[in-house]
Each structure stands twice: as structure tokens, then as C-alpha cells.
Amino acid sequence: MIKSQEEVKFEIEDSFVAPWGLANEERPMHLLWAGDIDEVEIRFAEPIDLVEGYNITEGLETYESVEEHEDGSDIRVLTIPAEAFTTPGYFSAKFTVPEIFEEAIVAQAVHVIFHLPDDSTVDWEEYTFTIRPQIEIGEHPKKIVLNGVEDEEELENIDITMHYIGFGMAQVDTEAYTEGELISKGESIYHDIAEAMKKNGLYGKDTELQPVPEEWKEETNVGIPQQEMEKFVDEFRESLREDSMSDILDDEDVEELLAFLEAGDEERDMSKIYQHFEFLLLNSIIDVVDRHPTENVQLRKPQTTVQIESRMRGFVVQYHLSDNQGNEYESIEVPIEIEDERDDGGMVEMEINTEWEQHQINPQELQQLKEEIANL
């Protein structure tokens, strides 16, 4: 929005403010203008935090001040004189919004006032929106009845529907507690790979590694660069050394698998190992995607199981929500009662099977939101 009190030889040639970003995510802005000015006044609504400025002779703190708005909030003001620009007619900066909001999207204004030599002004205003992922509880069991006919060889499912709303990639960690005690275990993708290798006898010293089937490649139409696979194998090897697979691999298994991975080229073609790891990894990923198809939810551990003992009368499933900026959001809790009708009691394991439904706001709706705000 540009307003001028009188005709002047001045023009804003280009302008940009990042339309949206997560809390604490650095966002850029820039201004390009033609014509003489006395100074530029840039006003940032609270809680915008300025990180860095460019094309100015001093640091941002030299030009920064704080004013109190009529509603009691603070306004950060940059007042930059014309002679402070290294190259006339250009300014850019980075800023963040360090506050986490409850709403999925919140607007903050950036207001620029160009003070011209003839005492006239040109105003320009734009909005940046702070976004966040949100999740809500859908259908879920209120009570689980144990009647003694559960098949201990196969995990029963606890089916929970969760709704994803808002913006950005949601990172979700699922855990279960009873009376403050953790009763769930999450399995990483390294765990899935180790389990698959043991089940298929893939790492025995006499194992003959066959090429990944061409029909599988054609069907999935996906692949992982060998450099990334080498990195993954290194991380998998380190996970084995840290004894994080003790629930599925005994000491002999670990030693044999480590020897398998560390075999030199004279004993085994390492490229075939990388190919088979790619096959196993993609199979594991595709399985997770099939079970959790929402593209904006990333599960920290693809599988979570709950260990239920006879003394338990209920538990709470907690979904811990964060994003790729490291922002932690409020956890969502799903309480579930247990009715144990068994005579013998004992331990039962059940898998938490979360079905994700997506209700994401279209970022293109930001323009409509801007227009609504401008008309307030």
C-alpha cells in the first residue's frame, strides 16, 4: 500500500517481506527505491525481533529504538538516514518472530515510511504471518477390554484418528504413560532394518546378496543416492555399537552384523550391501507412508507399542508436537481406560496405530487474509 502527500520524484521499485514463517525461523525482507530521501523509518510490530541488516554502515542497534503503541505493545523502530546506506536505494534485513501462538496463523505488520527532502512521506505496509502446525484428536477408543483371548504373537492395534491442521511440517513423538510411568516403546527406523535383516537371515557370513529386483524399482520409482546410503549405513553401525537393538539382537547377532557391515571389498562387494540397505530402507519408509499418509506429519519413531500389565486400570497416549525449527508445542493427550477380565493377568503388548487426516490451510489464502486485515 503506497500513499503520497504530494507529487515527488520517488518510486518504490521492488519490495518483499517473507509472507510466512514458523516461530524463530529467520525471514527476509528487502526494499529497493529510486529517488532521494532524508531517511527511512521501518516499524515492526511486537514481537518481531530484528536479526541482521544489510547495506548499512553500522549495526542495527545504532538505528533501533522502541516505542509504546497505544494498546500497550512495543513497536521496534529503525530510523536510518540516507547517508547510512552503503549503496543508495537499497535495504534488506532478516527478522524472526520468537513467540509461539495458539492460533495456526497470526499476522504481524511491517510498516515503512520514506521521509523525502521536501518533507513529504511515502508509506508502505506489508504483513508477515507466523504459522504453526496443529493436531487435534479424532476418533479413539475410550476403553480397552482384555478378555484373555488376545494373540500374544501378534500385536493388537489401538486405533486413533488424529487431524492435522495449520501449516508446516509437524514432527510427532508418541508415548504412553500410566501414573507418570512410561509404558510405551518406540522403534526407530534402524530398529526396523535390524529386525528385517535378522528375520531374513541377511547378514550371515554365507549370505549371497542378490541385486534389488528390477520390477521393484519400476514399481516404486524411488531411489536413494549412494552417498546418502553410505551415511545411513555408518549411522546404523553406530546405533548397533550403542546397544540400542538389545531387544531384538543378542551379542552374537550384533557381532555378526557388525562384521558383515565392516567386511572389506575382498570379502564382499560393498555396493551390494548398499543396494540391499536401500531396498530395506525404502520398504520401511513406504510401509510408514502407507500407514501414515499425511504428507505434513513426520513421525520420530514409526512404530510405538504399549505394554499393558494386569494391575493397570488405564493409560494416556501423548502426542508430543514440534516443528523443524525446534519449537515445542503443547502435547495432545488421549486417555484410555482398561477393563481386564482375564483370570491369569500377565503382560499384553498393543501397537498404537494412528491414522492421520489432513486439513491444511492453503497458503494462497494469505492474500485474502491480508485484504481482510487491511479493511479492518
Q: Read off the pLDDT of residues 313-324 as tens digits, 9 standing for 90 and up.
A: 899 999 999 988
Residue 78: what are its φ and ψ, rounded to 5°? -100, 125
Q: Is the pLDDT of residue 209 over 60?
A: no
Say whether 173 sits in a helix, a strand or coil: strand
Q: Are residues 116 and 11 in the same domain?
A: yes
Residue 368 lies in a domain: no
The closest of 260, 262, 240 to 251, measured between CA atoms, is 240
Whether 371 maps to a domain, the answer reads: no
Check residue 333 and give its pLDDT. Answer: 94
> Does residue 253 sit in helix, strand or coil?
helix
pLDDT at residue 223 is higher than 70: no
Give the confidence band of 104 by pLDDT, cuts at 50, 70, 90.
confident
Say if residue 183 is in the same domain as residue 117: no
Average pLDDT over the chain, rounded to an integer: 78
Q: How many CB atoms lie within 10 A of CB 12?
A: 15
Show the cell assigned to 312: 493397570
Tally of structural domains, the chain: 3
Q: How far from 241 is each of 129, 185, 251, 259, 338, CA to CA, in Å? A: 45, 20, 10, 12, 38
Do 277 and 206 share a domain, yes or no? yes
Query: In the predicted model, is pLDDT for residue 51 greater than 60?
Result: yes
Taking only the tens place, the pLDDT of each residue in 4-17 is 445 568 999 999 99
Q: 163 versus 2: which is more confidently predicted? A: 163
| Cell numbers at 100, concatenated | 509461539
Query: 186 - beta bridge partners?
Result: 304
Q: Using N-to-C axis directions, what is the helix angle for 226-241 and 270-291, rounded to 10°?
A: 80
Residues 278 and 328 in one domain: no
Residue that terminates a domain, selected from 244, 268, 293:
293
Res 18 pLDDT > 70: yes
Average pLDDT for residues 99-127, to the nearest whole number?
93
- If asked whether residues 139 and 205 sit together in one domain, one would say no
Q: Give the rounded percent of residues in the chain with a pLDDT score beyond 70.
A: 67
The pLDDT assigned to 135 comes to 87
HSE (side-chain half, CA atoms, 13 Å) at 325: 19
Is residue 249 included in any domain, yes or no?
yes
Contact 23, 97 (CB under 8 A): yes
Tell which wins on pLDDT, 231 or 330.
330
Q: Render pLDDT for 176-187 as a digit per residue (tens, 0 to 9).
A: 888 778 777 665
Q: pLDDT over 90 for what percent of the chain? A: 34
Out of 262, 293, 324, pick the residue that ends a domain: 293
* Same-domain pairing of 124 and 169: no
**Shared domain check, 333 and 274:** no
Cα–Cα distances (Å) from 79 to 39, 59, 107, 112, in that order, read 7, 12, 23, 10
Task: Give a yes or no: residue 375 inside a domain.
Answer: no
Cα(346)–Cα(62) distance, integer angstroms:
69
pLDDT on residue 353:
85
Q: Does one domain contain both 217 and 114?
A: no
Q: What is the pLDDT of residues 322-351, one digit of tens each?
A: 988 999 999 999 999 988 888 777 788 888
Higher pLDDT: 245 or 142? It is 142
Q: Which residue range is the domain that position 224 belongs to? A: 189-293
Residue 373 lies in a domain: no
Ranking 30-34, 73-77, 261-265, 301-305 by mean pLDDT, the lowest is: 261-265
Residues 208 and 255 grouped into a single domain: yes
If DSSP codes are grouped into helix, strand and coil, which group holds residue 223?
A: coil
Residues 205 and 160 in one domain: no
Peptide bond into 98 cis (omega under 30): no
- The yes-or-no verdict on residue 188 having pLDDT over 90 is no
Q: Give how far Cα 346 sits from Cα of 54, 152, 305, 309, Å.
A: 66, 11, 16, 6
Residue 270 lies in a domain: yes
Cβ pair 114, 79 in contact under 8 A = no
Local confidence band at 153 (pLDDT 50, 70, 90 cut-offs): very low
Closest CA to 189 of 304, 294, 301: 301
Q: Is 207 exposed, middle or buried (0-12, 13-18, 19+ CB in 10 A)?
A: middle
Which position has the higher pLDDT, 22 or 218? 22
Residue 192, pLDDT > 70, answer no
CB 293 within 8 A of CB 302: no
pLDDT of 175 higher than 50:
yes
Strand partners for 163: 136, 357
3-state DSSP assignment of residue 235: helix
What's residue 288's pLDDT? Answer: 43
| Phi/psi of residue 333, nearest 5 degrees | -115, 135
- Show which of 244, 275, 293 is a domain's final residue: 293
Instruction: Tell which wins on pLDDT, 283 or 226.
Output: 226
pLDDT range class, residue 282, cuts 50, 70, 90: low
**149 shares its domain with 229:** no
Residue 9: per-residue pLDDT: 85
Q: Supply the pLDDT for residue 226.
A: 67
Predicted pLDDT of residue 149: 64
109: amino acid identity, one letter: A
**Gap between the Cα atoms of 297 and 171, Å rounded:** 6
Is 149 a member of any domain?
A: yes
**Is residue 223 included in any domain, yes or no?**
yes
Q: Work out the pLDDT band at 29, boundaries 50, 70, 90.
A: very high
Number of residues written out for the chain: 376
Q: With a cut of 50, say whether residue 289 has pLDDT above it.
A: no
CA pair distance 78, 293, nearest whole angstrom: 46
List pLDDT tens digits, range 121-133.
999 999 999 989 8
d(CA 133, CA 25): 14
Indicate if 118 and 7 belong to the same structural domain: yes
**What number of CA atoms fall less than 13 Å from residue 29's CA on the CB side?**
27
Q: Which residues make Cβ contacts (< 8 Å) with residue 238, sequence separation at least 6? A: none
Does residue 361 register a pLDDT over 60?
A: no
